[in-house]
Amino acid sequence: MSDISDDHHLIIPEFSVRFWGVRGSTPAPGPHTVQYGGNTPCVEIRAGGRVILIDCGSGIRAFGRSMYMAPGNQLDLLMSHYHWDHVQGFPFFGPAYHAENKIQVYGPPVSTGGSIEDVFKNQMVPPYFPVPMDIMKAEMHFDEVKPNDQFQIGPVDILAKQLNHSDITLGYRITWKGISVAYVSDTEHIAGKLDSNVLALAEGADVLIYDAMYTDKEYLDPKAPKAGWGHSTWQEGLKIAEHANVGRFVSFHHDPIHNDRFLRQVEKEMQLQNANACVAYEGLVIGLM
Ligand SMILES: [Zn+2]
Ligand SMILES: [Zn+2]
């Protein structure tokens, strides 16, 4: 593993992970979240000459602007699931409006039936949105991914596993040249044991991006317990990371009520347990090759 940087002007590594949105449930902009960011999930992985995005929360808008002037791009978008915080950025994804671009979307089956394309289309209809998705001129394809599927995006290997969440949700392991990144959001840990699907994604991974929406204290709070809400804690994530020999643990999908001060404290406590752990923030780039 090489360096971590948020300098946008460095030479882009051959294999990198960049965070455009790290917040769960709903965007949380404002003066108390400027350090870690308020946008909902969007992670960019560059590997093997491909640009692979995971989820299209509100963070995808800024990603789109960063490549707006470079048409002709092939983009692959892996969807974990279709909860609002993971799809809401798509109508604002500039490159989708340009005919030169090609967008391949992969996602789990839709729990209510119907097509993945309809999930995207149906959030761009009155009274929610002024223009229909047909206005987007990029060439788009939508393919279903089932739990345990393995496939390739160019030279990059993808493995999908079902997560423990309130809708059909997939975690992904992205591997190129023996380097792996595991994306595990949204998921709830299983009390008293480690989730074998999450372990399969995380085993020996260089980076584990994990749904650490809560702390153990919040999760177990007798007055307002969060068990059954479909999310996990950084303490449970570290157990997976340590058991699976993960290189770097990245806590992700922050609760919108967790302000910068809270997340700084979380990071401190996490790093006392695991020096290679960090809290994801918008603009974080992890170079892997
Ligand atoms: Zn979410
Ligand atoms: Zn969700």
Specify whether the CB–CB gap between 253 and 186 falls below 8 A: yes
* Mean pLDDT lowest among 11-15, 62-66, 101-105: 11-15
Ligand 1 mean position to 27 CA, how many Å? 11
Q: Does position 7 have pLDDT exceeding 60, yes or no?
A: no
| Coil/strand/helix, residue 260 | helix
105, two tokens: 């979307």
pLDDT in tens, 19-77: 999 999 999 999 999 999 999 999 999 999 999 999 999 999 999 998 765 667 899 99
pLDDT in tens, 200-232: 999 999 999 999 999 999 999 999 999 999 999
- Of all residues in the chain, the percent with pLDDT exceeding 90 is 92
Bridge partner list, 210: 184, 251
| Ligand with the closest atom to the CA of 166 | 2
| Ligand with the closest atom to the CA of 82 | 2
| Confidence band of 13 (pLDDT split at 50, 70, 90) | confident
Tell me the residues surrounding ligand 1 (ion) with CB < 5 Å: 24, 85, 186
Q: Does position 10 have pLDDT exceeding 80, yes or no?
A: no
How far apart (Å, rounded) are the C-alpha atoms in residues 277 and 263?
Answer: 13
Ligand 1 mean position to 216 CA, how many Å? 18
| Ligand with the closest atom to the CA of 88 | 1
In order of start, what are the domains of the chain with their CATH numbers? 4-281 (3.60.15.10)
How far apart (Å, rounded) are the C-alpha atoms in residues 105 and 76?
Answer: 6
Q: Does position 185 have pLDDT exceeding 70, yes or no?
A: yes
DSSP string, 15-30: SEEEEEE-B-SS---S
Specify whether the CB–CB gap between 4 and 286 falls below 8 A: yes
- Determine which helix (DSSP H) or strand (DSSP E) holds 234, and give its type and residue range: helix 234-243
How far apart (Å, rounded) are the C-alpha atoms in residues 39 and 7?
Answer: 19
Ligand 1 mean position to 199 CA, how many Å? 20
Amino acid at residue number 54: I
* Mean pLDDT lowest among 8-12, 137-141, 169-173, 223-227: 8-12
Q: What does the pLDDT read at residue 3?
A: 46
| Ligand with the closest atom to the CA of 230 | 2
Ligand 1 mean position to 39 CA, how many Å? 11
pLDDT in tens, 235-254: 999 999 999 999 999 999 99
| 106-137 per-residue burial string, b: 16 or more CB within 10 A, e: under 16 | bbbebeeeeebeebbeebbeeeeeeeebeebe
225, two tokens: 């317990």
